[in-house]
């Protein structure tokens, strides 16, 4: 079984939302956590204090992971600080929603750059560390939108579908190094991202979810923890945490 206690976990975009819940969950399991943030400095530092106050170990590291150099620096700073990397959770993501008639090439590029390309940058930088350790776990946060498509989200759906293809390929390439690579596909989850959806649309969304409610960040975080602790024979998979909205 994957040992969380004492392991070193990097979570991208961990100041807020799902990333924050993942960082908290892993810290509770005894991991030493790197709370990466891009702009949310205060929430990230506040989370580090919270984890430290409850006896855990965490550090906040700034870095825009959509920039290959900054993504590599995040990984190098982690290795310098803790001497190893056992877990990488690619959670950072944005959305710029518009129908394709209104979507600009810049809207397309930005979402693909942040949501998809960042995963390649961090994995590439972390790879030598995983090889040196003799194994590790990579979890990429995709979305049910990457499986089902969604009106007004061509850029986001393409990036999230790309994450699934990337995850399977990384799983194939890294299996020889005992690195398991999986994707988690959340459905609609209560975060700032969902809060940005107009209220009337939120109601329509809830009506579409078989379990009748939006998910909680912690429910995604528990799935990530499961893959780390109990997923030694799980690789190249997508784990759906979506209330049944996509089956």
Residues that bind ligand NAP (CB under 6 A): 12-13, 15-19, 36-40, 64-66, 91-94, 114-115, 141, 143, 186, 188-189, 191-194
How near is the Cβ of 134 to ligand NAP at its closest, in Å?
28
Beta strands in 91-162 (DSSP E): 136-141
Q: Which helix (H) or strand (E) holds 156?
A: helix 154-174
How near is the Cβ of 177 to ligand NAP at its closest, in Å?
25
Active site residue 177: no
Complex with ligand NAP: residue 18 or 239, whichever CB lies closer: 18
Complex with ligand NAP: residue 2 or 187, whichever CB lies closer: 187
Complex with ligand NAP: residue 8 or 141, whichever CB lies closer: 141
**Using an 8 Å Cβ cutoff, are 73 and 50 in contact?**
no
Among the listed residues 156, 177, 226, 246, the single catalytic one is: 156
Distances (CA, A) of 112 to 122, 153, 247: 15, 11, 25
How near is the Cβ of 190 to ligand NAP at its closest, in Å?
7
**Using an 8 Å Cβ cutoff, are 144 and 187 in contact?**
yes
What's the rounded Cα separation, in Å, for the pair 132 and 116?
A: 25
User: What positions carry a catalytic annotation?
Assistant: 156
């Amino acid at each position: 079984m994957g040992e969380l206690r004492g392991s070193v976990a990097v979570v991208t975009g961990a100041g807020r939302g799902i990333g924050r819940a993942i960082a908290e969950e892993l810290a509770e399991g005894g991991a030493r956590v790197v709370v990466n943030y891009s702009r949310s400095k205060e929430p990230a530092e506040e989370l580090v204090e919270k984890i430290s106050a409850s006896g855990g170990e965490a550090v906040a590291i700034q870095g825009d992971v959509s920039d290959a150099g900054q993504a590599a620096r995040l990984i190098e700073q982690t290795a310098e600080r803790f001497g190893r990397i056992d877990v990488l959770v690619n959670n950072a993501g944005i959305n710029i929603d518009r129908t394709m008639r209104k979507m600009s090439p810049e809207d397309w590029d930005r979402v693909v750059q942040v949501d998809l390309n960042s995963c390649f940058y961090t994995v590439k930088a972390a790879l030598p560390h995983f090889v040196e350790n003799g194994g590790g776990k990579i979890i990429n946060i995709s979305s049910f939108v990457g499986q089902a498509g969604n009106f007004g989200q061509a850029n986001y759906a393409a990036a999230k579908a790309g994450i699934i293809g990337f995850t399977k390929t990384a799983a194939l390439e890294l299996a020889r190094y005992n690195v398991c690579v999986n994707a988690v596909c959340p459905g609609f989850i209560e975060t700032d991202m969902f809060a940005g959806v107009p209220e009337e649309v939120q109601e329509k969304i809830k009506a579409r979810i078989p379990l009748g409610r939006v998910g909680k960040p912690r429910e995604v975080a528990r799935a990530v923890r499961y893959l780390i602790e109990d997923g030694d024979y799980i690789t190249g998979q997508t784990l759906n945490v979506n209330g049944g909205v996509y089956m």
